[in-house]
Structure 1
Amino acid sequence: MKFPLVAATCLLLAGCSSGGTDQVVVTVDQPVTLADQPVQVKVSGLRPHKAVTVGADAVDQDGKKWHGKATFTADDDGTVELDTAKPAGGTYDGVDGMGLFWSMDPPAGNPDEQSYLPPFDNGRPVEKLEISASRDGKRLASTTVTRQWMASGVTATPLTMAKDKLTGVYVAPKADGSEHPSVLYFGGSEGGVPPMSIPYLLASHGYPVLTVAYFHAPGVPEDLRNIPVEYFATAARWLDQQPGVDPAHVVVMSASYGTEAALLVADHFPALVHGAVLFAPGASGMRSYPHPGAAAWTYQGRPVGLDPIPVNGMNGPVLAVAGSADAAWASQQAAELIMLELDDAHSKFPHEAVVVTGAGHGVGGAPYLPRGTKINHPIVGPYTLGGSRPANESALRQGWTKTLALLKSLS
């Protein structure tokens, strides 16, 4: 959906010793858009070859104001286009039209230990950024960009074990009378219902999403211990029955520990699951978490062993995204092993491992938000994901683009 070009004309005219003035305008091609869509930022009306600082400011859900900036030199026409201009300095390096967005820093503390979470507007997450142009500390012009996670018509319905035999949330796009590929989504070792940014955005692109919790939530076990693979099959069957869902194209998606369950349900239930997207994957069965001593998963009442998980039953495309600097586990090797096993099984479906040099464990989700390389894990506390903010951002962009392409290929 295209929106009219908006411009904010400066209220201040910045003079120089020669008596000249800037009449500066900041423009954004899409002032209101989904949070996973890039925008084009342009500053015009500058004096040619003069420096200008372009900034981005956004308030998170805790009321903290994040800030990103970059200094540029205007071209012969007195213009700076962030898609093509390389900053001389700032919170990011290199040519990157969305650099201001993901490189914002918190007002205090180590950026690697914090991540931006958007505030809510009428129950829906919305990020509002002010994009400004300044020189010598004086603001010349600004405009506002609104980033949304939920498109018009997207709905979210909680599910409970008592009523639905599942714990989770069903996120549905606006009904259009057609059936669409859908996603069964769940998280990793953090437990609970995973953050809703992925389901909201996928539904905004037209894909129904069932996100489920399988431990550390009401109605499911407290620990990741002896979780039946059949639970995820039950979720896939529930998803099949929803209006607007194409039951022939259900894709399972997960990250970290949850990718083991994704592989298991896709392999054991090929009639229900028709593809997989795996972020920072594992390739073998694991022990229970956080307290070892049992298997993490069971199938037909028996513990799943520690051997590589078979993939010869896969009934659709597979995408695995990993970082070479994953500090949590060897996701690069796991992603590559999964692809080798699919090759050996002579899979007729597309399968690809995207390994990003320097990226860590946090490679799942949409790009363009500031994310740290360390988190406060809800179960075990401080936890290092690894990688760097720029490399992780690169992995998020590549992985998300390929995720949307995989889903589109099933439409």
Structure 2
Amino acid sequence: MAVVIGWGAAGCSPGTRASSKAVIGVDAPIALADQAVHLKISGLEPHDEITVGSSATTHDGKVWHGQATFTADGHGLVDLSTTRPVSGTYHTVDGMGLFWSMRPPTSDPNSDYFYPYYPELSPSYTVQITVTAHGRRLTSRTLTRQWAAKGVSARSLTLAHDKVVGEMFLPRPGTPRHPAVLAFGGSEGGIGSMKYAAALLASHGYPTLALGYFAIPGLPARLQNIPLEYFATAARLLAAQPDTDPAHIISMGYSRGSEPALLLAEDYPDLIHGVVVYSPSSNVNPGIPGSGNAWTKDGNPIPLGGISLDHLSGPLLAIAGADDALWPSPTYVKAITDELHAIHDRYPYQTLVYPGAGHGVGTFPFLPEGTVDPSLGGNRVGNAAAMEQGWPKVLALLATSRGECHGARTKAGSPVKATCGG
């Protein structure tokens, strides 16, 4: 996991009295990318105004920047976890605001995504924190944000060798068997950003396979007629890993990927034992493009319409943004809740709808994004808050999946209340 180092001094620039004493303190200069860190700037002049900046570089060399201006307290201290910025790329008290609010250098932020090197290529990325005042740079410090904790391994899966395409992330050898996650995205195709979430889940001890199912060489070019058996093959491969508890495989799907995630849990209850869905649909929708079929089973098209959930064999977590503009995921989330309530599902389920968030409601927190595309809905602040609050719910579901949970049902947005053994 993350290496935690005590408060320490960073290098300081010569010059003013303030600059000779300014210190950036951080509780975890090396930490997992989904872990919050606590930043303090000390050694400042009392009540002085400073600007704290952040910067990070994407895989293609673009540098993203965030900043916030603060007024030091009477002791010459700015604690970013408790101090509201006077101005900046974020505007509320938020200890991680400098991380998620970084902006791209392009004139069209909607066309930019913050993509560091994929975790199988580089286990971390860095964020530079700088402090300036009165036109002078006072001090700086580099923080390391890890995708993969020490010992986490990655293996590329191929059709020729594995019958599926994806990236398998496994915890450090010798880790006790844990629930495992089969994760996949939506209509964007490929594997893409789901790799980052997969590496982080493996860093928390959960073997995870980031799966591609179309728009990859050797696979269908379009989201049409994708066999559900393909996902089942991937789940069996994941279940066979030495660090996996095969009795607790979780399917995680985003957007259009929520459909196979739910279908797998319904049609393969002996294989899939829980579901996490982001910006989900409660229905089977047509293929893309056109009006053909998206999914098949046993060589037959899976009919359009509502997805039955009466054979689930584990917990369910559904997360949506209240302002999703791409499709009505809050309505779909309610339909999922209503069905589980009607059939008196014996496993715990939780549905969360976050205000201000759009289709980009997940997954892990603190990674910056450009200005939100209006077609997706929501805003940066809402999405960032949803990810910070929602990701711990995913980790909690995985932690409690190791035991048998009995009869817990919750209303939308309320905490899960379940009695779990194991």
Letter matched to residue 399 of structure 1: G
1:3 aligns to what?
A: 4
1:379 aligns to what?
A: none
- Name structure 1 gaps, 5 residues minimum: 376-382
Q: 2 CA distance for matches of 1:22 and 1:233?
A: 61
Q: 1:323 aligns with which of 306, 312, 321?
A: 321
- After superposing the two structures, state which structure 1 stretch, 124-133 or 64-73, moved more: 124-133
TM-score (norm 2): 0.90
Please state how far the C-alpha of 1:8 moved relative to its aligned partner. 0.8
Q: How many residues align?
A: 399
Q: 1:33 aligns with which of 27, 31, 44?
A: 31
1:236 aligns to what?
A: 235
Please state how far the C-alpha of 1:14 moved relative to its aligned partner. 2.1
* 1:287 correspondence with 2:286: yes
Q: 2 CA distance for matches of 1:236 and 1:179?
A: 16
Please state how far the C-alpha of 1:122 moved relative to its aligned partner. 9.0
Q: 2 CA distance for matches of 1:121 and 1:294?
A: 35
* 1:68 correspondence with 2:66: yes
1:7-406 correspondence to structure 2 within 5 Å: 7-15=9-17, 23-119=21-117, 123-176=121-174, 178-195=176-193, 196-289=195-288, 291-372=289-370, 374=372, 384-406=375-397
Change (3 A) 1:307 1:326: same
Q: 2 CA distance for matches of 1:38 and 1:398?
A: 12
Change (3 A) 1:122 1:407: closer
The question of whether the paired residues in 2 share the 8 Å contact of 1:59 and 1:119 is answered with no
Secondary structure of the 2:76 match is: coil
- Name structure 2 gaps, 5 residues minimum: 403-422
The question of whether the paired residues in 1 share the 8 Å contact of 2:225 and 2:293 is answered with yes
Secondary structure of the 1:384 match is: coil
Please state how far the C-alpha of 1:12 moved relative to its aligned partner. 2.7
The question of whether the paired residues in 1 share the 8 Å contact of 2:282 and 2:336 is answered with yes
Please state how far the C-alpha of 1:293 moved relative to its aligned partner. 2.9
Q: 1 CA distance for matches of 2:14 and 2:339?
A: 63
Secondary structure of the 2:319 match is: strand
Change (3 A) 1:139 1:373: closer
Deviations 1:77-97 (A, max 9, x none): 110000000011111011000
Q: 2 CA distance for matches of 1:280 and 1:122?
A: 26
Secondary structure of the 2:21 match is: coil
- After superposing the two structures, state which structure 1 stretch, 37-46 or 6-15, moved more: 6-15
Secondary structure of the 1:7 match is: coil
Deviations 1:374-411 (A, max 9, x none): 56xxxxxxx83221111111111122111111111123
Please state how far the C-alpha of 1:110 moved relative to its aligned partner. 3.4
RMSD: 1.8
Q: 2 CA distance for matches of 1:202 and 1:71?
A: 34
Deviations 1:130-187 (A, max 9, x none): 2121112211111111111011111111112222221212111111152111001111
Q: 1 CA distance for matches of 2:336 and 2:27?
A: 41
% of aligned pairs identical? 46
The question of whether the paired residues in 2 share the 8 Å contact of 1:133 and 1:141 is answered with yes
Q: 1 CA distance for matches of 2:214 and 2:23?
A: 51
Please state how far the C-alpha of 1:306 moved relative to its aligned partner. 2.1
Secondary structure of the 2:350 match is: strand
- After superposing the two structures, state which structure 1 stretch, 248-257 or 292-301, moved more: 292-301
Secondary structure of the 2:305 match is: coil
Letter matched to residue 231 of structure 2: F
- After superposing the two structures, state which structure 1 stretch, 199-208 or 152-161, moved more: 152-161
Change (3 A) 1:312 1:373: farther
- After superposing the two structures, state which structure 1 stretch, 124-133 or 108-117, moved more: 108-117
Secondary structure of the 2:66 match is: strand
Q: 2 CA distance for matches of 1:2 and 1:122?
A: 20
Letter matched to residue 369 of structure 1: L
The question of whether the paired residues in 2 share the 8 Å contact of 1:160 and 1:219 is answered with no
2:418 aligns to what?
A: none
The question of whether the paired residues in 2 share the 8 Å contact of 1:27 and 1:42 is answered with yes
The question of whether the paired residues in 2 share the 8 Å contact of 1:185 and 1:210 is answered with yes
